[in-house]
Amino acid sequence: MPQSPDAVDPTPGAPDDARARAGAARPEDGLAPPGTNGAPHPTPLPGPPAGWSTPYVAPVPLEPEQESPPDEPRTGDGWADPSAGAPSGTAAGTAAGEAAGDPAGTQTAVDAPPWGAGPVVATAAPERRVPDADELRERLLGAATLALDATRRNRVIGWVVALAFTALGAVLRFWNLGSPHELVFDETYYVKDGWSLVERGYEADWGEEPNPRFEQGDASMLGTKAEYFVHPQVGKWLIGLGMRLGGGVESAFSWRLAVAVLGTLSVLMLTRIARRLFASTAWGAVAGGLLAIDGMGIVMSRTSLLDPVLMFFVLAAFGALVLDREQSRRRLAVRQAALLAEGKETEFGPGLGWRWWRFAAAVLLGLAIGTKWSGLYFLAVFGVLTVLWDATARRTAGVRVWAAVAFVRDAVPAAFVMVGTAVVVYLGTWWSWFTHPDAWGRQWAAENPGQGVTFLPEALRSLVEFHRQMWNFHRDLDSPHTYQAHPLGWIVQWRPTSFFWGDESGLTGPDAQAACGADHCARAILAIGNPVVWWAGAAAILVALFWLVWYRDWRAGAVLSGLVAGWAPWFLYSERTIFAFYSIAFTPWVVLTLVYVLTLVVGPPTLPPRARRGAIIGVGVFLAVVVLVSAFFYPIWAGWTVPYDFWHQHMWLRQWV
């Protein structure tokens, strides 16, 4: 703020030379204050305290009880708050004003300068500077985020980079997608159920041992009798529609088409999401590239199970909430600045209106739950996360009672919108079950009058009972399996799941030489992530937790949120038969957590290039190792026929076999 050109006369009737000495002894000039005989101070003296618009003047003696310095101006709300010091008109301010010839009390006593010359007097009380919308936007989002899409060039580069890594992910997922031409692991359930849905509208019975004929393209054994199932229908509908578009049951490519498309789009989404989170196109590219070449993402995108479909929807919902965070903060900046400019009371801040991206996230989470019930945990965690973002935004914008306002204006509406929308969408995903009387359990209420939740209509009463049956199945599922794995080991891929072990693995002699160029062949699909990515990701989780607790970095909370939602709940069901490939649901957040820690290693771009050079080289070497390991493992992820010794070289741990 501009300085007053004239010093204030410290005492009425002071002689002219005293006034001159008072004006010449301004501490901002680096000279000694009055009372030091004009001797220069050995070091430059500091200027006036932040927030004061006038220079220091000659000291005014105060009574001892008046010499206690006031607080510094507060900056917690982003600008100095005059209420933190002694405002004009207070007893201290009036006494100092009267002593300085200012009976109105417009001057205020402030801290004594460090050279021991006694207290000083400012000519006017500090005024609260009102920030404009641009300043609030920068506080709420940061300069890097605002610059991310500020020019057309930045926007174009952002999309070109994202599409390039999406293309890489597509190649790795679609290359020879129809191999093996066999139902892999639990494809035996979901592929046939998907075809049944598009053919019958409900899950129908396939008879005894249908797989060999189905794999030959024969679906004539599909019956009309309803078959029991234990997962909602969204993922199976998508698999069935992919089969319809891709060539029917004759093509193994069509069995996996829908999941491969969703897995490829997930690379695109993660690249764009990471670009927003880290305000950097380069770091977005790193995140997208890691997901594109990670084994868990590749294997699960090449296998028609429900878990990669769940991952797609929860990742899309997370991306929608990241966009909602940015959009709502831009809106808050404009509306808060308008209130401040008009001088209106800002105790409660502005409303933010309808949040379309939050609504979109709720729709996507409803579809996630309609794929697997574990989507419920993402709804809960993401709902809390978005409300916390709102609360911190209001605090940063200067809303006084930000916690209460965030609860009333943000948390309560968010609960209604997100939970209500997700419930409605979830019920809507059962439309075919409602409309087909032959579906499993559809007639339960009619066959069992007076049972169940009797106040509901028959259709809903039947659905509730069906859900009770499904819940009992999942709760009691404890049949031992060779590849079941405790969730504690998922993060380090301790016990990956073997999806496929082909007949070629038994080839020897001339047949083996013809198939793989060795005396003994192997053909396998192992659902395991890139070990370097996952081991480093496990360590990165600890670093991110520290940064969240110690520095309260919102990005640390964001990257950990998917791990809390997708991994932590499984510890409650560790006694059940569960598998490590469930970790695909939170794989994007393993990547984001790792990238977040890499950004800490490299440091912000504001550092001198020399300070970052070593870290950048180190991160580059790490990423090069990741690429090499992925290239080494790809034949095991894609089910190639390889020499047995080559396959065995990939079994780094005994538990992987």
Q: What is the mean pLDDT of residues 371-387?
A: 97
Strand partners, 641: 523
Inter-residue long-range contacts of 642-650, CB under 8 Å, 24+ positions, other chains counted: 642/516, 642/521, 642/522, 642/523, 643/516, 643/517, 643/518, 643/520, 643/521, 643/522, 644/505, 644/518, 644/520, 644/521, 644/522, 645/518, 645/520, 646/518, 646/522, 647/522, 647/524, 648/522, 650/526
Higher pLDDT, 633 or 128: 633
Query: Is the model's pLDDT at 420 over the cut of 50?
Result: yes
Per-residue pLDDT at 123 = 52
d(CA 612, CA 295) in angstroms, rounded, equals 30
For the segment 445-463, the average pLDDT, to the nearest whole number, is: 92
Both tokens of residue 175?
A: 């290359």
Query: CA-CA distance, 173 to 167, in Å (whole number)?
Result: 10
Mean pLDDT of the chain, nearest integer:
83
Task: Find the DSSP H helices in 342-405.
Answer: 356-369, 375-397, 402-405
pLDDT band per the 50, 70, 90 thresholds, residue 238: very high
**Tens digits of per-residue pLDDT, 248-305?**
999 999 999 999 999 999 999 999 999 999 999 999 999 999 999 999 999 999 999 9
Compute how many other C-beta atoms are within 10 angstroms of the C-beta atom of residue 48. Answer: 19
> Of 333-342, 556-565, 629-638, which range is least confident?
333-342
Q: Cα-atom radius of gyration of the chain, to the nearest Å?
A: 33
| Residue 169, pLDDT score | 97
What pLDDT is recorded for position 54?
Answer: 37
Task: Using the predicted structure, report yes or no on whether residue 117 has a pLDDT greater than 70.
Answer: no
Helix, strand, or coil (residue 393): helix
Residue 475, pLDDT score: 82
Confidence of residue 124 (pLDDT cuts 50, 70, 90): low
Which region among 16-20, 191-195, 227-231, 244-248 has the lowest average model confidence (pLDDT)? 16-20
pLDDT recorded at residue 65:
40
pLDDT band at 450 (very low <50, low <70, confident <90, very high): confident
Find tokens 């499904």 and name the residue.
Answer: 470
Q: Which two tokens mark 553?
A: 């970095």
Tokens of 561: 């949120």
Which neighbouring-strand residues pair with 109?
121
A 10 A CB-CB count for 504 gives 19
d(CA 264, CA 169): 6
* Segments making up each domain of the chain, as ranges: 144-304, 339-435, 437-476, 487-656
Residue 125 is predicted with a pLDDT of: 53
pLDDT of residue 128: 63
For residue range 627-648, list pLDDT tens digits in order: 999 999 999 999 999 999 999 9
What is residue 83's DSSP assignment? G
In 3D, which of 25, 93, 31 has the Cα closest to residue 59?
25
Residues 451-456 have a mean pLDDT of 90
pLDDT of residue 346: 67
Peptide bond into 609 cis (omega under 30): no
Residues forming beta bridges with residue 226, ordered by sequence position:
204
Whether the pLDDT of residue 11 is over 50: the answer is: no
What's the pLDDT band for 18 if we cut at 50, 70, 90?
very low
Q: What is the pLDDT of residue 340?
A: 87
Assign 99 a pLDDT band (cuts: 50, 70, 90).
very low
CB pairs under 8 A, 24+ apart, for 546-553?
A: 547/600
Residues 6 or more apart whose Cβ sits within 8 Å of residue 171: none
Q: Are 1 and 73 in contact (CB under 8 A)?
A: no
Spatial distance between the Cα atoms of 325 and 418, rounded to a whole number of angstroms:
15
Between CA 303 and CA 294 the distance in angstroms is 15
User: Which is it for strands 521-527 and 120-122: parallel, antiparallel or unpaired?
Assistant: unpaired
What is the predicted pLDDT for the residue at 492? 95
Cα-Cα-Cα-Cα dihedral sign, residues 292, 294, 297, 299 = positive
For residue 503, what pLDDT band results from cuts at 50, 70 and 90?
A: confident
Tokens of 498: 């073997």
Q: What is d(CA 31, CA 469) in angstroms, rounded to the nearest whole number?
A: 85
Do residues 492 and 538 touch, judged by C-beta distance below 8 A?
A: yes
Pair 498, 525: CB distance under 8 Å: yes
Residue 644 CA neighbour count, 13 Å, CB half: 15
For residue 422, how many other CB atoms are within 10 A of its CB? 26
Q: How many residues does the chain have?
A: 657
Residue pair 317/365 in contact (Cβ under 8 Å)? The answer is: yes
Q: For residue 616, what are the contacts with CB-CB under 8 A and spacing of at least 6?
A: 602
Measure the CA–CA gap between 438 and 196, rounded to whole angstroms. 13
Q: Is the pTM of this model over 0.75?
A: yes
- Residue position matching structure tokens 């030379």: 17
From the CB of residue 518, how many other CB atoms can be counted at a distance below 10 Å? 16
Which amino acid makes up residue 442?
A: R
How far is C-alpha 464 from the geometric centre of its chain's CA atoms? 33
**Cα–Cα distance for residue pair 93/100, rounded to 1 Å:** 11
Name the one residue in this structure whose structure tokens are 């009574």: 63
Rounded Cα–Cα distance for residues 149 and 165 (Å): 19
Least confident of 21-35, 472-486, 512-526, 577-591: 21-35
Amino acid 97: pLDDT: 37
DSSP state of 165: H
Query: Is pLDDT above 90 for 230?
Result: yes
Question: Two tokens at 176?
Answer: 């020879």
Distance CA 649, CA 631 (A): 14
Which has the closest alpha carbon to 344: 404, 401, 399? 399
Q: Identify the weakest region by mean pLDDT among 177-181, 209-213, 341-345, 435-439.
A: 341-345
Between CA 451 and CA 461 the distance in angstroms is 9
